[in-house]
A and B are shown apart, each in its own frame.
Chain A
Amino acid sequence: MASFERFDDMCDLRLKPKILRNLLSEYVPNEKQPLTNFLSLSKVVSTISTHKLLSESPPASIDQKLHAKSKSAVDDWVARLSALISSDMPDKSWVGICLIGVTCQECSSDRFFKSYSVWFNSLLSHLKNPASSRIVRVASCTSISDLLTRLSRFSNTKKDAVSHASKLILPIIKLLDEDSSEALLEGIVHLLSTIVLLFPAAFHSNYDKIEAAIASKIFSAKTSSNMLKKFAHFLALLPKAKGDEGTWSLMMQKLLISINVHLNNFFQGLEEETKGTKAIQRLTPPGKDSPLPLGGQNGGLDDASWNSEQLIVSRVSALMFCTSTMLTTSYKSKINIPVGSLLSLVERVLLVNGSLPRAMSPFMTGIQQELVCAELPALHSSALELLCATLKSIRSQLLPYAASVVRLVSSYFRKCSLPELRIKLYSITTTLLKSMGIGMAMQLAQEVVINASVDLDQTSLEAFDVASSKNPSLTNGALLQACSKKRKHSGVEAENSVFELRIPHNHLRSPISLKIASLEALETLLTIGGALGSDSWRESVDNLLLTTATNACEGRWANAETYHCLPNKSTTDLVEFQLAALRAFSASLVSPSRVRPAFLAEGLELFRTGKLQAGMKVAGFCAHALMSLEVVIHPRALPLDGLPTLSNRFPESNSFGSEKHNTPNLNKLNVIAHDGDDLGNRWQAKADVPSNNAIQRTLDTTLPLQESNRLKVGNDLATVVSLSVQDHTDIVASENGQQADVPEKVPEESLGPVTDKDVTAPKDGYEEVVSGTQEGEDLAVKDSLMEEASIGKKIESLGESDDDPIPSLQEGDFLSSSSDSDSDIES
């Protein structure tokens, strides 16, 4: 009877029990039949997952008979797995354990709820059994982890789940004490992390034991660097087991003490003796009890390991990684971050560069110094990571310490020549600028500009000779600005010598990733604080970014096909470098400054060429950059409320406006173009304040955050330009004899700079206004002033487009046909 049954399609519910039974008979071994092919297990898992074979259908939706079939099929499956888990043979129990983990994930809620306790005890027995093989134990850890993950989604079983999880702690501690393989340790750490995140109360009675066990693993000489990181990560999560502020602070204190104790040994002979003592003292103030060392009474330290510099640095790096993870992982209660101690620790590490203080040279041999210097870059890298984590955790609350952090970063920038460390420094700089805004930009601008100038030198090997001739002037320019900024003469001389020594090194060793990092820092600097206090460095930065962007794109674009032969990573690096250079250059053009952007013409040409290239990332960004620059070129002053309509008086302005607001036809930019058209229309029509806000909100939601910031900056540039327009209009208005109440001309001129050309050029347009005014004698004085303001804006907009406006063409704008407007736009 069954053999003649037909099914609707591959999603027929009646198929599921049959497929499951087929898998069970064909691929899953039973007690007597040996396991022949390991690869079939992957097929079993993917089939179960695809068809959801273990999720029994709810009985109401289908007929009773099919439900019974489905249930019995899953019952057989579970029975088979239980038999396998109980088997004495390791390969069969391994299969059962793995498939139980998948079953925990896939089975129905009812079945899981009824069976999870039995499954848990079976898996736990394998974990506890000393005779179990390694691979069986790894599978047990993973399956228990999945069981607990599923269990955490039942809110009504919280207590029972915690009780089950508690049973795991002591066996895990026992496993940690054994000499286990790395795979088993990974499984154990992941299981512990799952427990601490989902059921933190399970650690309540064994918190100290777990801490001691993990710490001894970190301090053990046998632990690999990969496992060091995992253990450190779990140690950072461990305070969540209790969840209160005191536990977090205690762990942080222990970590800092342990790090400083290690550094006392490592830095012996390299720094002043009192420094380490002070560091320990501030962590244990007098009057308070010193906490137990990390890892229990003896701290897990044996004297033999002190002789290995590499081992000390590995431990310190792991402990610093643990500290960083604690700072950046969210914690559910308020925490007190010891910023002073953290910054002192970072400073202590970064101050040691391997050179020997004069007074202490007898204490250290050449071999010792060699060993220390070999490990110092890794130590500095960890310290910079810790500094970055500290900044990210407290963000703007760094305010009392911001100045000292700036000095620390600046002094380390001067000494640091390793590219990897410089990349981390640029990342720290970017984080500081983003979290602390304009004030930080004013503090850091000089350092970022000087260092980026050095790192962006010699942008391509092909341009070696050309760049070397450019190099002295650029360097001298930066130095001159640095001199004008700083007032200490001795500092200037030191700066000068450092500069000349540094250039040859960076000349050879600026990798692309370092250039990308410096470009990102410059972009952030221009975004945050491009206008305020930038007199001393803005011109050189704009020039540098133009040179970098041009060199990055010049040869590479034409030879795009050449790089098909290169490995993928090399090509990707070049594309990333181009994008970073173009992004920074775009920020340089869009960021507001006092004058018109110096390289606007070059920028427009560069982006226009880039938009035509084959690389879609670069082309997409160039299109976007052109859209951003359009706001700079044609400032859209948001119209005033009550502005009268101009369309009757100047019919050609419609086509003029629509042509101005043409934008590239990309999907993402269509919305922007539409908004642009709306803004253009509103420029001529009466506007509502809420509508303006709606447009602004649309822009904000459409653009990514950073581009939205740039657009806002552009809009503010439009505001500034409008203010300038206003100044010119005042001059025009003052020449109108009919306005009796206009004050004297001389005070008006003091409001802003005025050139004679600007005053005389719009004369024809002004006459037009006068005739219009005379024709409409009934217009109110207010309306007349508004018309003059609008006309002044239009004239000024034309002035912005051309450096040297021609009066005849401008006259044509108001009197002639649209063809003249086209020619004007093209010119």
Chain B
Amino acid sequence: MEITVIASSSIDEGIGSWDLKTGTEQLQFKPCASPAHGLTAVGEKFLASSQLSARNTSGSIFYWSWTKPQAEVKSYPVEPIKALAANNEGTYLVGGGISGDIYLWEVATGKLLKKWHGHYRSVTCLVFSGDDSLLVSGSQDGSIRVWSLIRLFDDFQRQQGNTLYEHNFNEHTMSVTDIVIDYGGCNAVIISSSEDRTCKVWSLSRGKLLKNIIFPSVINALALDPGGCVFYAGARDSKIYIGAINATSEYGTQVLGSVSEKGKAITCLAYCADGNLLISGSEDGVVCVWDPKSLRHVRTLIHAKGSRKGPVNNIQIVRKTIVANSNKTQVSWKSRGALIPPPLEKYERPVEDTMDGIVTVDPPPFSDVPVYSSFLSADLIDEQVKELQQQGSAATEMEMERLKLEYKRSLQMNEQWQKNYENLLQVVMEEEQIGGTN
């Protein structure tokens, strides 16, 4: 298991990648100028990022394989895509457009499965629920909506005219900057941050606001402690506030304090469960690794080099499974390189095409393990010995019956011959008597 940190910028400085445990810098993937929340790893297979563009007429999404620094696949959706998210298995990709539309693609084929109008203005955040069946989207207009992906494909319900979303949260007054969702399944808690300087805690099952927390600065990024009591809020004033979901006060600064370093605004946060590390990115291009317990930073990963430093606006933690055998590792990497899927389509296909659907399923990751069959000879001997014994006794019984039957027939035949003999003797005797009389 290898843990990689990837970071991207709004300036075309590429995507930086580091080994989190050693701090070693790995490949840098170019070209990439991504919006906030526009970088994602699709499963363990490849990287995907939406691209900022000077022209707003069309958008682009690029793919990189882990082994090559150049973008291998380029897709051109109908509008610029801001937020981009993949589900846990890496089978679906969701993009939020500047018009408020949300696009759902199938990764293996590039098909645009569904497009719907989610918000009135640009989609800024997209998050999948823990089991990938719900999608939470945040918008520039301050609204947050929860969508059931299965219901989006239910054409019957769409014809009924029902609203497509499950929940609609409208309490933010300005653009939503980040959304996180915890591990609670159907009872999960959603935390959102906004340019209105608040973080709000929502209940997924009840569909309502639980807590409003006010901060002295705009919150750009959120990360959640797995225990579910504490969250980390990266602010524009270069501080990382530690917020309590069960805070007694509305004011975040009075609860648990904050940490900060000399620097610029915090732009993104990520929590790494292995080792319990918090990773932050800031406007000066610095990526810091923090120990949440001691509130000190463990390591610094510089994203940009030279005089021109781009602000970090995306950080992701990616786990990659390493195949044990070194020979197979090379084969595996080659095949993975070949497995980058085709570009994403612009438009939905007609409904009839969809019904001819083909779903591509990857082989299990450890399918190269040799198969061992079991030995059978010993069991067969027991079975056949049994069979021979049964057959022997059954055959003997049948033979006995057959012999009895033949014996009866022999007796009958014997009697028949006896009668014939006596008849013949009688005829001979009569002839002799006739001869004597003459």
- A residues within 8 Å of B by Cβ? 38-39, 41-42, 45-46, 49, 94, 98, 101-102, 104-105, 135, 138-139, 142-143, 145-146, 149-150, 152-153, 183, 190, 194, 197-198, 282, 285, 330-341, 344, 393-394, 396-403, 406-407, 436-443, 487, 528-533, 592, 594, 637-642, 688-690, 692-693, 696, 709, 712-713, 715-717, 719-720, 722-723, 725-726, 729-730, 733, 743, 751-752, 781-782, 785-786, 788-789
Contact = CB atoms under 8 A, between A and B. Distances in A.
Interface string B128-157: 011111100000000000001111011111
A146 B377 contact: yes
Interface in B222-272: 225-230, 242, 244-250, 254-257
A716 B130 CA distance: 14
A442 to B, nearest CB: 6
Interface in B267-324: 273, 276, 292-293
B359 A336 contact: yes
Contacts of A344: 355
B377 A789 contact: no
Contacts of B133: 396, 436-440
Interface string B184-221: 11111100000000000101111000110000000000
A448 B150 CA distance: 17
B411 interface: no
Nearest to A530: B186
Given A41-B385, A149-B372, A720-B203, A729 B248 contact: yes
B170 to A, nearest CB: 15
B350 interface: no
B365 to A, nearest CB: 10
B364 A330 contact: yes
A396 B132 contact: yes
B309 to A, nearest CB: 31
10 A-B pairs closest in CB distance? A101-B377, A437-B131, A439-B133, A403-B154, A531-B205, A437-B133, A716-B184, A340-B357, A439-B150, A439-B148
Contacts of A39: 385, 389
Contact of A531 (B129, B187, B357): B187
B425 interface: no
A149 B150 contact: no
B377 A142 contact: yes
B427 interface: no
B335 to A, nearest CB: 9
B367 interface: yes
22 contacts: A42-B381, A46-B378, A101-B378, A145-B376, A197-B373, A198-B373, A336-B360, A337-B361, A396-B132, A400-B113, A400-B354, A406-B154, A438-B186, A528-B131, A531-B186, A592-B205, A594-B205, A692-B226, A693-B226, A716-B182, A722-B229, A726-B247
A813 B365 CA distance: 57
Contacts of B246: 637, 640, 719, 722-723, 725-726, 789
A592 to B, nearest CB: 4
Nearest to B129: A438
A394 B134 contact: no
The listed residue with most A CB atoms (<10 A of its CB), out of B133, B157, B257, B339, is: B133
B362 interface: yes
Contact of A719 (B245, B256, B378): B245
Interface in B140-185: 148-151, 153-157, 160, 166, 182-185
A642 B256 contact: yes
Nearest to A41: B381
Nearest to A403: B154
Nearest to A739: B249
A726 B151 contact: no
Nearest to A691: B293
B159 to A, nearest CB: 12
Contacts of A730: 248
Interface string B384-396: 1101110000000
Contact of B230 (A393, A531, A641): A641
Contacts of B375: 101, 104-105, 146, 149-150
B371 interface: yes
A752 B210 CA distance: 8
A343 to B, nearest CB: 8
A42 B385 contact: yes
A403 B248 contact: no
B428 interface: no
B187 A693 contact: no
A332 B247 CA distance: 52
Contact of B248 (A98, A407, A789): A789
A594 B208 CA distance: 12
A651 B265 CA distance: 46
Given A145-B373, A439-B150, A719 B189 contact: yes
